[in-house]
């Protein structure tokens, strides 16, 4: 095993500590002791000591984590369980011990450039890409999740940008941001290659607006940590919308009550808990959940959903419970995976909309 010293040190720190158990969306949903940072750390520390092998169900367990960093955020000491989880994934992939489901996703990636396979055709989206094919200062980077599973939502976002008369470029085809390989394999050559290709694209523009927070996190945090930096201003979609509100997008404040589901990447890694709230406050009234902002609870992830579908739905259901308990009726999302999972588990009388849909309601 070629775990880094930092990885070993972190696993040894976490292996006997349960303090972040309560915040893990996966563990809370499954109720399984193995779905804790400490269980992964303990198993890896035993691997490091020759008392267990990194294969079979031990490897499967390191993939039963959404890398949402709730545990990292919660740790008073500053340990980061994502570190050893990612290194374990890399070791598993490189040693041929990755679970079958992960291997299949990686094979699909090798063939198509996306773990989800070929991008579905959508005439309206292609038309939009043709309308915005010209090179501008601003690239609107849609990302794999919306391109594969929610093109209609991406089209809503594009329509809003058009209404604001923003000049932007939309690509018919995009390279994947590197998030998918980073999630499944950690830091490998292939991951770096993907991030490098994406960074090269971003660098051709003055500003890149990321529709998906996870892609923004990959570009703004993960890639730079590996020495891959884009020469462009990298902006999340909520932050970009905030700059348009009241200027290019004149909204009329209504009586609607919105509750924002903070995407984990946006709130924690990118530390933006204010942009979406500023937007929603301009549109209507904000009603918070008990766990909001940096304490947000992940409610969906499309990669995890490929092999832990029921668990992802369970996570979304639990989030709905929390929202409903606080009297929330309209959840607003800024992440395709969460939009889809929350839509699939929506209780009667409640609704889930995207941030741009909330704005559209008030124009």
- What does residue 301 show for φ and ψ, rounded to 5 degrees? -155, 125
* 295-334 positions binding other proteins, by CB under 8 A: 322, 325-326
Distance in angstroms (rounded) separating the CA atoms of residues 29 and 265: 20
Beta-carbon-side half-sphere exposure of residue 322 (alpha carbons within 13 Å): 24
Closest approach of other proteins to the CB of residue 22, in Å: 4
Closest to other proteins by CB, 44 vs 234, is 44
- Residue 155 binds other proteins, judged by CB under 8 A: no
- Residue 203 binds other proteins, judged by CB under 8 A: no
Q: Give me 92's structure tokens.
A: 């598993």
Q: What is the DSSP letter of 348?
A: T
- Residue 56 binds other proteins, judged by CB under 8 A: yes
Closest to other proteins by CB, 57 vs 152, is 57
Q: Using an 8 Å Cβ cutoff, are 253 and 282 in contact? A: yes
- Residue 57 binds other proteins, judged by CB under 8 A: yes
* 93-122 positions binding other proteins, by CB under 8 A: none
- Residue 60 binds other proteins, judged by CB under 8 A: yes
| The one segment of 37-45, 106-114, 143-151, 352-360 that binds other proteins by CB under 8 A | 37-45
Closest approach of other proteins to the CB of residue 298, in Å: 16
| The one segment of 74-82, 117-125, 253-261, 341-349 that binds other proteins by CB under 8 A | 74-82
Distance in angstroms (rounded) separating the CA atoms of residues 125 and 127: 5
Closest approach of other proteins to the CB of residue 79, in Å: 7
Closest approach of other proteins to the CB of residue 222, in Å: 25
| The one segment of 14-22, 142-150, 155-163, 277-285 that binds other proteins by CB under 8 A | 14-22
Distance in angstroms (rounded) separating the CA atoms of residues 100 and 56: 10
- Residue 137 binds other proteins, judged by CB under 8 A: no
Is the four-CA dihedral 270, 273, 275, 279 of positive or negative sign? positive
Closest to other proteins by CB, 50 vs 227, is 50
Q: Give me 321's structure tokens.
A: 């419970």
Is the four-CA dihedral 128, 131, 133, 134 of positive or negative sign? negative
The mark string for 268-297 relative to other proteins (x by CB under 8 A, - otherwise) is ----------------------xx------
Q: Give me 147's structure tokens.
A: 């391109």
- Residue 75 binds other proteins, judged by CB under 8 A: yes
Closest to other proteins by CB, 56 vs 254, is 56
Closest approach of other proteins to the CB of residue 49, in Å: 3
Question: Cα dist. 84→7, 8, 41, 90, 333 in Å?
Answer: 5, 7, 7, 10, 29
Closest to other proteins by CB, 51 vs 173, is 51
From 76, 123, 165, 189, residue interacting with other proteins (rule: CB under 8 A): 76
Closest to other proteins by CB, 19 vs 278, is 19
166: left (phi over 0), alpha (psi -120 to 50) or beta: beta
- Tally helices (H) and strands (E) across the chain: 21, 7
Strands 330-333 and 257-260: parallel
Q: Give me 127's structure tokens.
A: 């038309």
Question: Cα dist. 333→59, 162, 253, 275, 276 in Å?
Answer: 32, 21, 19, 13, 9
- Residue 31 binds other proteins, judged by CB under 8 A: yes
From 3, 7, 26, 61, residue interacting with other proteins (rule: CB under 8 A): 61
Q: Using an 8 Å Cβ cutoff, are 349 and 276 in contact? A: no
Distance in angstroms (rounded) separating the CA atoms of residues 210 and 290: 27
Closest approach of other proteins to the CB of residue 259, in Å: 13
What residues make contact with other proteins under the rule CB under 8 A? 13-23, 28, 31-34, 36, 39, 42-43, 45-46, 49-52, 56-58, 60-61, 74-77, 79, 290-291, 322, 325-326
């Amino acid at each position: 095993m070629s775990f880094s010293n930092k990885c070993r040190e972190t696993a040894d720190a976490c292996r006997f500590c349960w303090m972040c158990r309560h915040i893990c969306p996966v563990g809370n949903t499954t109720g399984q002791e193995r779905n804790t940072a400490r269980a992964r750390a303990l198993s890896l520390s035993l691997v490091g000591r020759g008392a267990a092998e990194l294969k079979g169900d031990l490897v499967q367990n390191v993939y039963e984590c959404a890398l949402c960093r709730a545990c990292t955020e919660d740790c008073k000491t500053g340990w980061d369980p994502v570190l050893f989880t990612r290194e374990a994934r890399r070791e598993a992939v490189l040693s041929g011990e990755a679970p079958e489901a992960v291997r299949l996703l990686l094979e699909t990636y090798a063939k198509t450039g996306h773990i989800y396979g070929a991008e579905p055709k959508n005439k309206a989206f292609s038309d939009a890409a043709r309308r915005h094919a010209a090179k501008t200062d601003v690239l609107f980077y849609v990302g794999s999740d919306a391109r594969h599973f929610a093109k209609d939502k991406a089209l809503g976002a594009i329509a809003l940008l058009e209404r604001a008369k923003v000049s932007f470029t939309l690509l018919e085809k995009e390279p994947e941001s590197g998030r998918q390989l980073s999630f499944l394999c950690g830091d490998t050559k292939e991951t770096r290659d993907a991030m490098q290709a994406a960074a090269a694209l971003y660098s051709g523009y003055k500003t890149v607006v990321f529709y998906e927070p996870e892609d923004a996190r990959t570009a703004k945090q993960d890639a730079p940590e590996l020495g891959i930096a884009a020469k462009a201003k990298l902006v999340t979609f909520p932050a970009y919308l905030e700059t348009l509100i009241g200027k290019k997008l004149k909204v009329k404040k209504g009586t609607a009550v919105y509750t924002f589901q903070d995407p984990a990447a946006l709130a924690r890694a990118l530390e933006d808990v204010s942009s979406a709230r500023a937007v929603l406050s301009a549109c209507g009234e904000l009603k918070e959940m008990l766990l909001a902002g940096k304490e947000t609870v992940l409610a969906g992830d499309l990669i995890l959903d490929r092999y832990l579908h029921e668990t992802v739905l369970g996570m979304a259901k639990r989030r709905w419970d929390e929202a409903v308990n606080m009297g929330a009726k309209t959840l607003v999302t800024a992440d395709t995976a969460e939009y889809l999972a929350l839509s699939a588990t929506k209780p009667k009388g409640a609704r889930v909309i995207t941030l741009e849909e909330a704005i559209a309601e008030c124009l």
